[in-house]
Chains A and B, each alone.
Chain A
Amino acid sequence: MSRVKLTVNGQTVSREVPDNTLLSQFLREDLRLTGTHVGCDTSQCGACLVHVDGRAIKACTTLAVSLDGADVTTIEGVANGDDLHPMQTAFNTHHGLQCGFCTPGMVMAGIDIVTRYQAMGQPLTEAAIREELEGNLCRCTGYHNIVKAIADAAQTMSGAAKAAQ
Chain B
Amino acid sequence: MYELKYHKATSVADAVAILGDAEDGKVIAGGQTLVPTMKQHLAAPSDLIDIRALAELQGVCIKGDALVVGAATRHADVALHTDVRTHIPALARLAAGIGDPAVRAMGTIGGSLANNDPSACYPAAALALNATIITDRREVDADAFFAGMFATDLDEDEIITSVRFPIPEKAAYAKFPNPASRYAMVGVFVAVLDGDVRVAVTGAGEDGVFCHKGLEAALAARFTSAAVDGVDVSEEELMSDLHGSAAYRAQLIKVMAKRAVIAAG
Binding site for B on A (CB under 8 A): 2, 18-20, 22, 41-44, 46, 49, 55-58, 60-63, 65-66, 68, 109, 112-113, 120, 132, 134-136
CB-CB nearest in chain A for B77? A55
CA distance A46 to B40 in the complex (A): 18
B48 and A43 form a contact (CB under 8 A) = no
Please determine whether A62 and B28 come into contact, CB atoms closer than 8 angstroms: no
Residue pair A19, B5 in contact (C-beta under 8 Å)? yes
Closest CB of chain B to A39's CB: distance in Å? 13
Within 8 A of A (CB), among B175-190: 181-182
Q: A20-B4, A55-B105 are in contact. Are A66 and B52 (CB under 8 A)?
A: yes
Contact check, A112 vs B8: say whether CB atoms are below 8 A apart: no
**Is the C-beta of B240 less than 8 angstroms from some C-beta in chain A?**
no
Q: List 26 A-B contacts (CB under 8 A).
A: A18-B3, A19-B3, A19-B6, A19-B48, A20-B1, A22-B1, A42-B36, A43-B32, A55-B106, A56-B101, A61-B35, A61-B36, A61-B102, A61-B106, A62-B35, A63-B6, A63-B31, A63-B35, A66-B6, A68-B8, A109-B102, A132-B101, A134-B182, A135-B100, A135-B102, A136-B100
Choose from B1, B76, B102 the contact partner of A58 (Cβ within 8 Å): B102
Q: Is the CB of B101 within 8 A of A134?
A: yes
A interface SS class: mixed
Which chain B positions have C-beta within 8 A of A57? 102, 105-106
Cβ of A66 and Cβ of B4 under 8 Å apart?
Answer: no
Contact A41 B39, beta carbon cutoff 8 Å:
yes
A-B contact count (CB 8 A): 78
> In chain B, what residue has the closest Cβ to A48?
B102
In B93-140, which residues have CB < 8 Å from any A CB? 99-103, 105-106
Contacting A at CB under 8 A, from B20-57, are 28, 31-32, 35-36, 38-40, 48, 50, 52
Across the interface, name the chain A residue whose C-beta is closest to B39: A41
Once the chains bind, are A109 and B101 in contact (CB under 8 Å)? yes
Nearest CB of chain A from residue B54's CB, rounded to whole Å: 13
* Nearest CB of chain A from residue B55's CB, rounded to whole Å: 15
Q: Cβ of B102 and Cβ of A56 under 8 Å apart?
A: yes
A115: min CB distance to chain B, Å? 12
**A134 CB contacts on chain B under 8 angstroms:** 99-101, 182
B52 contacts across to A, CB distance below 8 A: 66
Bound-state Cα–Cα, A137 to B31, Å? 21
Given contacts A55-B105, A61-B31, contact A66 B8 (CB under 8 A): yes
Instruction: Return the contact of A62 from the options B8, B31, B40, B76 (Cβ within 8 A).
Output: B31
Residues from chain A with Cβ under 8 Å of B3 in the complex: 18-20
Q: Which residues of B contact A42 (CB under 8 A)?
A: 36, 39-40
Chain B nearest Cβ from A119, distance in angstroms: 10
B106–A62 contact, CB under 8 A?
Answer: yes
The answer for the CA separation of A91 and B50 in the assembled complex, in Å, is 38
Q: Which residue of B lies closest to A119 (CB)?
A: B80
Least CB separation from A116: chain B residue: B101
A19-B6, A135-B99, A135-B100 given; A61·B48 CB < 8 A: no
Residue of A nearest to B103 (CB): A135
Q: Beyond the given A20-B38, A65-B6, please list 5 additional residue pairs across the A-B interface where CB-CB is below 8 A.
A: A19-B4, A56-B102, A60-B39, A132-B101, A134-B101
On whether the beta carbons of B102 and A46 are closer than 8 Å, the reply is yes
Residues of chain B within 8 A (CB-CB) of A66 are: 6, 8, 28, 31, 50, 52
The answer to whether B2 and A20 have CB atoms under 8 Å apart is yes
